[in-house]
Amino acid sequence: MTESEDEVLSENDVERIEIELLPEAKRTLLWMSTALLGLCFVLPFVPARRSGPLVATMSYPFAFFSLFLVFAIFLFYVYRTSVFGLRADLRSGHKCVFKTVVSRKQWNGNAAFELILAEVPEVLSKKKFVYPSVESHCFHEGDVVVLEYLERSAVLLRVYAEI
């Protein structure tokens, strides 16, 4: 009941990845890189809590390139997990299907419900399963829930109750 099975990506899944998820990941990466590059120009002049600005202890080019290197490493990690992962999932052509049980359904307080699942795949362990109150009738405690997700990019494609 709780082991992952591989299935072939359907045409709808491939279309969703190519048209919606991959461009969104690229757009997010572009905006992040633009914002972080802008911060590289400004942060050397911003004073820290216990010390002065970076330009007081080192030259501006060295401070700029130090920040640039840190942000570049962070952006490479984001690229590797999002864009590269989605492309690898498209190349493999497989998605994982995981069946589990809803152990609890609790009110989130923001006009939404959160599903607490008995077991979750390690890839999706950090994700929350939150649904608006309009869709609350779809899931009940004790229901068998099917999670369809992409393994390399950890994108959740679909969650539905098994009938």
Report which of residues 137 and 46 the model is more confident about: 46
* This prediction's pTM: 0.77
Does the structure show a pLDDT above 80 at 126?
Answer: no
Residues 133-143 pLDDT 10s: 777 777 888 88
Residues 66-84 pLDDT 10s: 999 999 999 999 999 899 9
Does the structure show a pLDDT above 60 at 29?
Answer: yes
What's the chain's average pLDDT?
Answer: 88
Q: Tell me, what's the pLDDT at 143?
A: 86
Provide the CATH topology of domain 93-161.
OB fold (Dihydrolipoamide Acetyltransferase, E2P) (2.40.50)
Q: Tell me, what's the pLDDT at 3?
A: 61
Secondary structure of the chain in HEC code, one letter for each residue: CCCCEEEECCHHHHHHHHHHHHHHHHHHHHHHHHHHHHHHHHHHHCCCCCCCCHHHHCCHHHHHHHHHHHHHHHHHHHHHHCHHHHHHHHHHCEEEEEEEEEEEEEECCCCEEEEEECCCCHHHCCCCEEEEHHHHHHCCCCCEEEEEECCCCCCEEEEEECC
